Structure 1
Amino acid sequence: MNYTFKICVLISAYIIVTIIGAYFIKLMLRRYENEVETSGLRGAGLVIGIVERIMVLTFVLVNQYTAITVIFAAKSIARFNELTDRKMAEYYLVGTLVSITFALLAGIIVRAILGEGI
């Protein structure tokens, strides 16, 4: 397989999980936005989500699936106090699971395209 092709596939995957992933997750969470009040920094969720998906994609590409749990644990610790509100907890869980699943699937597809298995 051509080295240039591999690089293009990898770059495309990172673009997809950052830009398209952010848009997709925004669409998925739109219906719940009015039901929860977030007290964090404006726009921080977007940045956290982008970094999260970059990390998940990278972990999948280097075959370190268990490292994904570190992301989930870190986010849960950071949001621990907010998770006592049921609506906020569900909003957080939906957003996190959709984000991780999006990047996980992208990574699995890339590994399949590159012939590296799952």
Structure 2
Amino acid sequence: MLIPWHSIELAALFAAAYAVTISAGSYVVAFILRKFPVAGVGGLEHAGLAIGILERIFVLTLVLYGQFTAIMLVLTAKSIARFEDLKKREFAEYYLIGTFSSMLFALFVGLATVWLLAQL
């Protein structure tokens, strides 16, 4: 049985959206954060990268489902986990720059994907 062409297009579009969100998003956020170095940002090695990737996957998925208000749950969960660290102004600014740039990237990719879906 042949798969309908439309299904292949959809699968390719979703795969591309997630690939761009995961790979390019990591480079964009790292590029932005390099401009704001913070000493003493501890934690597990590469944990920030993994958290950022998961965050962008969640945000992209929520955008694709049209659940924009649920994106705030991602931000809330991250803020609760880092509550004590956010009391340090320098870290809080670094955290917000990283979080917002990551979320905005995923939001942009999600909205572009939704627009492309409407064109199919």
Superposition TM-score, scaled by structure 2 size: 0.92
Query: Which residue, out of 24, 29, 32, partners 1:28?
Result: 32
Residue-pair matches, total: 115
Partner amino acid, structure 2, of 1:58: T
* Partner amino acid, structure 2, of 1:100: M
The match for 1:56 is 59
Q: What whole-Å deviation, never above 9, does each CA across 1:23-69 have from its counterpart, x for those lacking one? A: 11000001222x33212111100000000000000000011111100
Within 5 Å, give how 1:62-101 maps onto structure 2. Answer: 62-101=65-104
Rg larger for: 2
Unaligned runs of 5+ residues in structure 2 are none
Q: TM-score, with normalisation over the residues of structure 1?
A: 0.93
Coordinate RMSD, CA, aligned: 1.3
State the identity as a percent.
42
Shift of 1:14: 0.2
Large movers: runs of 4+ above 3 Å: none
